[in-house]
């Protein structure tokens, strides 16, 4: 009888161990899914950073040219306004 009790007890422990291993496997699967999502997000962020570094000089050049044109327009308008006042006097 003692041997049968030991076998039944061991079988119960094996069943408990299998249950715990299944829970650990599920947790690892969830962790793997989260890490895959994080990896995908990091790849997208890296691509965005690379594209920004490529486009930043072009954007700054366009903004600089537009600012230069704006300053030139203001200077020309002020000169014309100043010249109109001088012509009337």
pTM for this model (two decimals): 0.55
In which band, very low, low, confident or very high, does the pLDDT at 88 lie, cut at 50, 70 and 90? low
DSSP result, the chain: -HHHHHHHHHHHHHHHHHHHHHHHHHHHHHHHHHHHHHHHHHHHHHHHHHHHHHHHHHHHHHHHHHHHHHHHHHHHHHHHHHHHHHHH-
pLDDT tens track for 22-80? 999 999 999 999 999 999 999 999 999 999 999 999 999 999 999 999 999 999 999 88
């Amino acid at each position: 009888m003692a041997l049968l009790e030991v076998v039944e007890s061991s079988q119960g422990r094996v069943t408990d161990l299998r249950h715990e291993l299944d829970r650990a496997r599920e947790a690892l699967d969830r962790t793997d899914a989260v890490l895959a999502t994080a990896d995908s997000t990091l790849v997208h962020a890296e691509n965005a950073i690379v594209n920004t570094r490529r486009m930043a000089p072009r954007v700054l050049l366009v903004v600089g040219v537009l600012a230069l044109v704006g300053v030139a327009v203001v200077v020309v308008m002020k000169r014309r306004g100043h010249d109109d006042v001088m012509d009337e006097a």
